[in-house]
């Protein structure tokens, strides 16, 4: 018989049917219920499937107790007594059988257990029994089938097994030894109490049992005893796992669901969000794979990163795509991005706006006078010292069109402000006095205008003056790449006189002309944004700011944020001081309502969410503080020179601690003598004793260095100094201290370096590759050779070259480092005369201090 004693072997469906005295269709039908697949008669069934078939057919054919069954066999006419039995059997048969793979687990136990269970009785009897059954009771298959089907149906309806239906007429022997494991109940058989077949036992020697069963099956009998055996066997098997099945069934269903969900998820391509940088472990978890898989993929890409290392977006997305995931860039939206509208305006939303013009030029060339002439007001005379002190903004009308002017300060000290002025404007009027020509600040103005991409119109002023020489100005302009139109260039130069008013209209007309060419547009229907032109604190009004709206429309009551200043627009006036409720693009306004005075040149934005705006301001303040903190650097001898050269250090405060008072004084005098022109050394404190906590506090507060002679810092002082970044220098000889501080002041405290050997590598083969050069096929003898190591080429104990590595490869991939015992390919930057047997000594230069 094909039915194997080994559970791992597959059994053909028709063989199984034969063995069970069933039709092939019965089995096909049964298995179809398991998974909906219709099998062929020759199909090989897995142990699970066989088990399922057993379960299925036996749950309808359980024997509840042998006594009852035997009784039946003796009195075939008697119906099995089932009420009680049925009840008892119910829980057993409630559960739908499911194939279990654990069958085998029971085997060893079964073997152990068997002798306990009336082995003596069973064994000989089985042998006796079998031939009996074979000879005596051949049971024709056809009889069997309908009965089974019926039972099956019944079982289905009732959802429980039917007891021992095949007992009637059977001539099964009266012995209860059938080769099954039967355990007695505590009740004694002889006392008339019923014995129970414990089919739940897990100590079944299945192999042996199956063997017997096979033998029985091969005998081809149809007798009822055999059938009973089969069923009994089947029952036993099914009962064996009954208990487990209850829980396993649930688990299995759950597992099935999980599996289906997993499969579904797998089918849908995994989407991963990857930020600019991601740690390998995090990438693995997002990709739902192990870190090893990610590391392998990285290696395949030539990236050697450990689980905790960070890889960039490009690398991570390559790995993710390799693993079949769809990558999306993870973008962190800051409060700023949430709060401030920053999309570009649709072309159809754009409307013409008037030009914003800045007047630039050398001091006293007449900027204010020209603006005054334009505004028909003489402001210049009212100014302190005749110098324009602040950026002001005005609007004028020319031929019915508006022009916004920003009056920039002309003094050198306002250079940075002027630069800002150029950045927010469209057109720069470069004022050059005709008599004076181009001066340093004129050049500076030209450069600012160029850098800001602003169109330049030259106003050659003071034409009324004697000695006015516009041609000389034009000539000088060409030296700065500004070629006037009449000389073939594209720069408009208008001769004007602020004093007489000559050429002023023509200047304005040209401004409008240039503006038209520039097609200046903005979208008035959005939240306003622009720049702070100037700001001051007014005693009565609080912070007052002059703003230039560059895009959108600013309304009274809008929440605006400018740098670290936030507030609602309380009052808004135009350049003439008249209250207005809204201001469109290119309009300068003066507003009140901000919480604090914003910085001139800052951009401002009208926002919708005041709370969020305040949050953003807090964040900006925090960042500003951090920046400030970073800027503040503690003085150390290493950074002393750079601080001196940056002008940050005018005085070097020193705290001197020594073992005796005499030393303190000697050190104080010696150190104070080494002051030079840039920096003065000043001992702010000197005392006898160890460097203590209070010394560190003083040094921290006054940005001083602590110098100790023959003393040590106490542990608290040491810890505090490390935490606060206070430098403590300890010496035993005064001369050393003086020398070091002098050197530091001169910027001569050069760092010291030493060589640290990293690896010894032997050249085993040399390849000449035309595109690459000479590649040394190497073996790392000891240490770890790193990609950035320097290489000393040693041949027969003589250094033949000292070079840098230009590539380090493991096979075809670039490697960061290669360890002892591994092979690698090395190319050197300059040296190519590499020979087999050369030794590469890898080393690095390490900075150190004594
Ligand atoms: N003759 C003559 N003098 C002028 C003309 N324009 C300005 N000035 C004089 O030149 C001097 C400087 O003029 P401002 O308008 O103050 O020059 P500015 O460039 O604004 O000077 P800052 O504000 O200091 O940069 C004043 O005394 C003006 O009266 C002009 O067209 N002709």
Three-state secondary structure string covering 764-829: EEEEEECCCEEEEEEEEEEEEEECCCEEEEEECCEEEEEEEEEEEEECCEECCEEECCCEEEEEEC
Helix residue ranges, H only, 95-140: 106-113, 119-136
Residue intervals of the chain classified under CATH 3.40.50.10050 are 648-748
Reply yes or no on whether the pLDDT at 91 is more than 90: no
User: Rounded CA gap, 103 and 169, in Å?
Assistant: 33
- Was 638 annotated as part of a binding site? no
* 408 in contact with ligand 1, CB cutoff 6 A: no
Mean pLDDT value of segment 104-115:
40
* 178 in contact with ligand 1, CB cutoff 6 A: no
Residue holding tokens 């099935």? 256
Residue holding tokens 């040209």? 510
Contact of 241 with 93, CB cutoff 8 Å: no
What spacing in Å lies between the alpha carbon of 442 and ligand 1's midpoint? 14
Residue intervals of the chain classified under CATH 3.40.50.300 are 351-521
pLDDT for 665? 82
What spacing in Å lies between the alpha carbon of 369 and ligand 1's midpoint? 5
212-216, 353-357, 516-520: range with lowest mean pLDDT = 212-216
> Which tokens is 817 given?
């480092």
Partner residues linked to 786 by β-bridges: 817
Neighbours of 622 (CB within 10 A): 11
Reply yes or no on whether the pLDDT at 384 is more than 70: no
pLDDT for 797? 78
- Was 774 annotated as part of a binding site? no
Mean of per-residue pLDDT scores for the chain: 74
Tell me which of 71 and 32 has the higher pLDDT.
32
SS3 content of the chain, % helix, strand, coil (to 5): 40, 25, 35
Give the residue, by CA position, lying nearest to ligand 1 atom 30.
Answer: 462
Give the residue, by CA position, lying nearest to ligand 1 atom 14.
Answer: 366
Question: Is 351-521 CATH 3.40.50.2000?
Answer: no
Percent of the chain with pLDDT over 90: 22
User: Rounded CA gap, 235 and 241, in Å?
Assistant: 10
Tell me which of 72 and 150 has the higher pLDDT.
72
pLDDT for 628? 64
Exposed e or buried b per residue across 446-485, where buried means at least 16 C-beta atoms within 10 angstroms of its C-beta: bebbeebebbbbbbbbbbeeeebbbebbbebbeeeebebe
Give the residue, by CA position, lying nearest to ligand 1 atom 9.
Answer: 366
Partner residues linked to 768 by β-bridges: 774
pLDDT for 18? 83
Question: Is 529-628 CATH 2.40.30.10?
Answer: yes
Mean pLDDT value of segment 745-757:
69
192-206, 438-452, 458-472, 711-725: range with lowest mean pLDDT = 192-206
Q: Which of 498, 501, 502, 507 to mutate to test the pocket of ligand 1 (most atoms within 8 A of CB)?
A: 498
175-184, 439-448, 626-635: range with lowest mean pLDDT = 175-184
Helix residue ranges, H only, 268-322: 280-287, 291-300, 313-322
Residue intervals of the chain classified under CATH 2.40.30.10 are 529-628, 752-848
Contact of 164 with 80, CB cutoff 8 Å: yes
- Was 362 annotated as part of a binding site? yes
- pLDDT tens-digit readout, 548-578: 999 999 999 999 999 889 999 999 998 878 8
Reply yes or no on whether the pLDDT at 361 is more than 80: yes
Contact of 30 with 52, CB cutoff 8 Å: yes
pLDDT for 324? 85
Count helices and strands (H / E) in the chain: 26, 34
**For the packed helices 637-645 and 734-746, what is the interaxial angle rounded to 10 degrees?**
40
Mean pLDDT value of segment 702-729:
86
Polymer length in residues for the chain: 850
User: Rounded CA gap, 36 and 50, in Å?
Assistant: 16
Predicted confidence band of residue 69 (pLDDT cuts 50, 70, 90): low
Q: How many CA atoms does the CB half-sphere of 736 hold within 13 Å?
A: 10
Contact of 428 with 457, CB cutoff 8 Å: yes
- Was 361 annotated as part of a binding site? yes
Reply yes or no on whether the pLDDT at 487 is more than 80: yes
Residues 6+ apart with CB under 8 A from 389: 383, 409
What spacing in Å lies between the alpha carbon of 589 and ligand 1's midpoint? 27
Nearest-5° angle of CA 635, CA 639, CA 645?
100
* 497 in contact with ligand 1, CB cutoff 6 A: yes
Give the CA distances from residue 252 to residues 47, 101, 561, in Å, rounded to whole numbers and listed in that order.
17, 12, 61
Tell me which of 619 and 637 has the higher pLDDT.
619
Mean pLDDT value of segment 340-348:
83
* 445 in contact with ligand 1, CB cutoff 6 A: no
Give the distance from CA 728 to its chain's centroid.
Answer: 41
What spacing in Å lies between the alpha carbon of 602 and ligand 1's midpoint? 29
Which run of H or of E encompasses 12?
strand 11-12
Give the CA distances from residue 623 to residues 95, 233, 594, 618, 626, in Å, rounded to whole numbers and listed in that order.
67, 80, 20, 9, 5
Give the CA distances from residue 701 to residues 283, 333, 630, 635, 695, in Å, rounded to whole numbers and listed in that order.
46, 39, 16, 12, 10
Reply yes or no on whether the pLDDT at 76 is more than 70: no
What spacing in Å lies between the alpha carbon of 477 and ligand 1's midpoint? 20
Tell me which of 329 and 825 has the higher pLDDT.
825
Partner residues linked to 492 by β-bridges: 457
Give the residue, by CA position, lying nearest to ligand 1 atom 8.
Answer: 366
Tell me which of 541 and 258 has the higher pLDDT.
541
* 461 in contact with ligand 1, CB cutoff 6 A: yes
Predicted confidence band of residue 66 (pLDDT cuts 50, 70, 90): low
Residues 6+ apart with CB under 8 A from 26: 17, 57, 145, 148, 149
Largest separation between any pair of C-alpha atoms in the chain:
149
Neighbours of 650 (CB within 10 A): 10
pLDDT for 135? 41
pLDDT for 460? 95
Reply yes or no on whether the pLDDT at 6 is more than 60: no
* 499 in contact with ligand 1, CB cutoff 6 A: yes
Nearest-5° angle of CA 781, CA 784, CA 788?
125
* 364 in contact with ligand 1, CB cutoff 6 A: yes
- Was 222 annotated as part of a binding site? no
Tell me which of 560 and 735 has the higher pLDDT.
560
79-88, 468-477, 807-816, 835-844: range with lowest mean pLDDT = 79-88
* 392 in contact with ligand 1, CB cutoff 6 A: no
Q: Which CATH class is domain 648-748?
A: alpha beta
What spacing in Å lies between the alpha carbon of 366 and ligand 1's midpoint? 3
What spacing in Å lies between the alpha carbon of 501 and ligand 1's midpoint? 13
Mean pLDDT value of segment 778-799:
90
- Was 40 annotated as part of a binding site? no
Give the residue, by CA position, lying nearest to ligand 1 atom 24.
Answer: 387
Mean pLDDT value of segment 509-513:
93
Q: Which of 367, 369, 444, 465 to mutate to test the pocket of ligand 1 (most atoms within 8 A of CB)?
A: 369
- pLDDT tens-digit readout, 132-182: 444 444 444 444 444 444 444 444 444 343 333 333 333 333 333 333 333
Q: What is the position in ligand 1's atom list of the atom closest to the CA of 462?
A: 31
Partner residues linked to 726 by β-bridges: none
Q: Which of 362, 380, 430 to mutate to test the pocket of ligand 1 (most atoms within 8 A of CB)?
A: 380
Tell me which of 829 and 240 has the higher pLDDT.
829
- pLDDT tens-digit readout, 259-304: 777 776 666 678 888 888 899 999 999 888 888 989 998 988 888 8
Mean pLDDT value of segment 330-345:
78
* 62 in contact with ligand 1, CB cutoff 6 A: no
- pLDDT tens-digit readout, 679-700: 788 888 888 888 888 888 888 8
Contact of 181 with 200, CB cutoff 8 Å: no
Residue holding tokens 């289905």? 156
pLDDT for 739? 83
Predicted confidence band of residue 415 (pLDDT cuts 50, 70, 90): very low
User: Rounded CA gap, 560 and 547, in Å?
Assistant: 11
* 502 in contact with ligand 1, CB cutoff 6 A: no
599-608, 676-685, 808-817: range with lowest mean pLDDT = 676-685
pLDDT for 16? 83
User: Rounded CA gap, 343 and 12, in Å?
Assistant: 71
Residue holding tokens 């097609």? 519
Mean pLDDT value of segment 43-69:
71
The domain 752-848 belongs to what CATH superfamily? Translation factors (2.40.30.10)
Tell me which of 217 and 311 has the higher pLDDT.
311
What spacing in Å lies between the alpha carbon of 403 and ligand 1's midpoint? 22
Percent of the chain with pLDDT over 70: 69
Q: Any idea what DSSP says for residue 76?
A: T
pLDDT for 484? 92
User: Rounded CA gap, 33 and 780, in Å?
Assistant: 65
* 580 in contact with ligand 1, CB cutoff 6 A: no
- Was 617 annotated as part of a binding site? no
pLDDT for 632? 58
pLDDT for 825? 93
Residues 6+ apart with CB under 8 A from 654: 671, 681, 682, 683, 684, 704, 705, 706, 707, 741
What spacing in Å lies between the alpha carbon of 480 and ligand 1's midpoint? 23
Contact of 535 with 543, CB cutoff 8 Å: yes
User: Rounded CA gap, 577 and 588, in Å?
Assistant: 11
- Was 363 annotated as part of a binding site? yes
pLDDT for 61? 63
Partner residues linked to 846 by β-bridges: 754
Residue 640 main-chain phi, psi, to 5 deg: -55, -45
* 738 in contact with ligand 1, CB cutoff 6 A: no
Which run of H or of E encompasses 518?
helix 504-518
10 Å CB burial of residue 580 (0-12, 13-18, 19+) is middle
């Amino acid at each position: 018989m094909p039915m194997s004693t080994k559970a791992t072997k597959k059994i053909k469906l028709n063989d199984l049917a034969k063995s069970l005295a069933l039709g092939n269709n019965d089995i096909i039908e049964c298995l179809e219920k398991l998974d909906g697949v219709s099998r062929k008669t020759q199909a090989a069934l897995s142990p699970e499937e066989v088990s399922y078939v057993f379960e299925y057919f036996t749950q309808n054919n359980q024997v509840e107790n042998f006594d009852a069954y035997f009784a039946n066999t003796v009195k075939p006419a008697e119906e099995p007594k089932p009420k009680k039995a049925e009840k008892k059997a119910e829980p057993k048969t409630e559960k739908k059988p499911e194939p279990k793979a654990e069958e085998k687990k029971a085997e060893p136990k079964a073997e152990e257990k068997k002798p306990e269970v009336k082995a003596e009785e069973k064994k000989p009897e089985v042998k006796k029994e079998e031939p009996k059954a074979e000879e005596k009771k051949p049971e024709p298959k056809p009889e069997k089938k309908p009965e089974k089907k019926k039972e099956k149906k019944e079982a289905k309806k009732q959802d429980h097994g039917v007891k021992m239906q095949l007992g009637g007429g059977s001539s099964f022997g009266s012995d209860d030894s059938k080769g099954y494991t039967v355990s007695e109940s505590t009740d004694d058989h002889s006392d008339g109490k019923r014995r129970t077949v414990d089919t739940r036992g897990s100590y079944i020697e299945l192999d042996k049992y199956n063997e017997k069963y096979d033998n029985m099956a091969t005998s081809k009998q149809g007798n009822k005893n055999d059938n009973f055996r089969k069923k009994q066997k089947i029952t036993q098997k099914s009962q064996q796992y009954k208990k487990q099945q209850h829980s396993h069934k649930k688990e299995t269903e759950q597992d099935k669901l999980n599996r289906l969900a997993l499969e579904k998820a797998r089918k849908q391509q995994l989407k991963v969000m990857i930020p600019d940088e991601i740690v390998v472990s995090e990438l693995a978890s997002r990709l739902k794979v192990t870190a090893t898989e990610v590391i392998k993929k990285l290696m395949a890409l030539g990236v050697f990163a450990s689980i905790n290392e960070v890889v960039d977006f490009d690398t991570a997305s390559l790995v993710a795509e390799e693993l079949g995931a769809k990558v999306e860039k993870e973008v962190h939206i800051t409060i700023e991005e949430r709060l401030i509208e920053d999309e570009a305006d649709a072309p159809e939303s754009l409307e013409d706006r008037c030009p914003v013009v800045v007047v630039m030029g050398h001091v006293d060339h007449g900027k204010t006078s020209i603006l005054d002439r334009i505004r028909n007001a003489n402001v210049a005379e009212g100014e302190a010292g005749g110098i324009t002190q602040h950026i002001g903004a005005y609007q004028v009308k020319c031929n019915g069109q508006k022009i916004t002017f920003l009056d920039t300060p002309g003094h050198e000290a306002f250079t940075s402000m002027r630069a800002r002025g150029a950045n927010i404007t469209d057109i720069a009027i470069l004022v050059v006095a005709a008599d004076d020509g181009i001066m340093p600040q004129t050049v500076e103005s030209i450069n600012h205008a160029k850098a800001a991409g602003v169109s330049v119109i030259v106003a050659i002023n003071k034409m009324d003056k004697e000695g006015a020489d516009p041609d000389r100005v034009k000539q000088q302009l060409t030296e700065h790449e500004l070629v006037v139109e009449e000389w073939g260039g594209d720069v408009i130069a208008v001769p004007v006189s602020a004093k007489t008013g000559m050429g002023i209209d023509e200047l304005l007309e040209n401004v409008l002309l240039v503006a038209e060419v520039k097609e200046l547009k903005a979208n008035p229907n959005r939240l306003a944004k622009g720049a702070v032109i100037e700001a001051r604190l007014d005693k009565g009004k609080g912070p007052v700011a002059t703003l230039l709206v560059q895009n959108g429309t600013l309304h009274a009551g809008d929440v605006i944020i400018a740098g670290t200043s936030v507030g609602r627009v309380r009052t808004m006036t135009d350049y003439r001081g008249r209250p207005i409720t809204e201001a469109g693009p290119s309009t300068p306004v003066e507003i009140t309502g901000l919480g604090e005075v914003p910085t001139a040149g800052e951009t401002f934005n009208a926002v919708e969410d005041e709370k969020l705006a305040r949050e953003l301001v807090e964040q900006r303040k925090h960042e500003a503080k951090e920046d400030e903190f970073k800027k503040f650097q503690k003085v150390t001898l290493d950074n002393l020179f750079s601080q001196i050269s940056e002008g940050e250090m005018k005085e070097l405060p020193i705290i001197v601690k020594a073992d005796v008072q005499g030393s303190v004084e000697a050190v104080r005098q010696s150190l104070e003598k080494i002051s030079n022109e840039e920096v003065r050394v000043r001992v702010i404190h000197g005392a006898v004793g160890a460097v203590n906590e209070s010394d560190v506090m003083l040094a921290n507060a006054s940005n001083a260095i602590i110098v100790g002679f023959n003393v040590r810092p106490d542990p608290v002082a040491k810890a505090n100094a490390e935490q606060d970044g206070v430098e403590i220098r300890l010496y035993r000889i005064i001369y050393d201290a003086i020398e070091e501080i002098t050197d530091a002041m001169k910027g001569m405290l050069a760092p010291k370096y030493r060589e640290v050997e990293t690896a010894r590598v032997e050249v085993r083969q040399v390849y000449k590759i035309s595109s690459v050069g000479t590649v040394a096929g190497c073996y790392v003898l000891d240490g770890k050779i790193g990609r950035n190591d320097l290489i000393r080429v040693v041949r027969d104990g003589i250094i033949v070259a000292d070079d840098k590595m230009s590539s380090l490869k493991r096979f075809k991939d670039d490697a960061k480092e290669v360890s002892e015992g591994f092979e690698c390919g090395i190319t050197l930057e300059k040296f190519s005369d590499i020979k087999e047997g050369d030794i590469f000594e890898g080393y690095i230069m390490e900075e150190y201090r004594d």
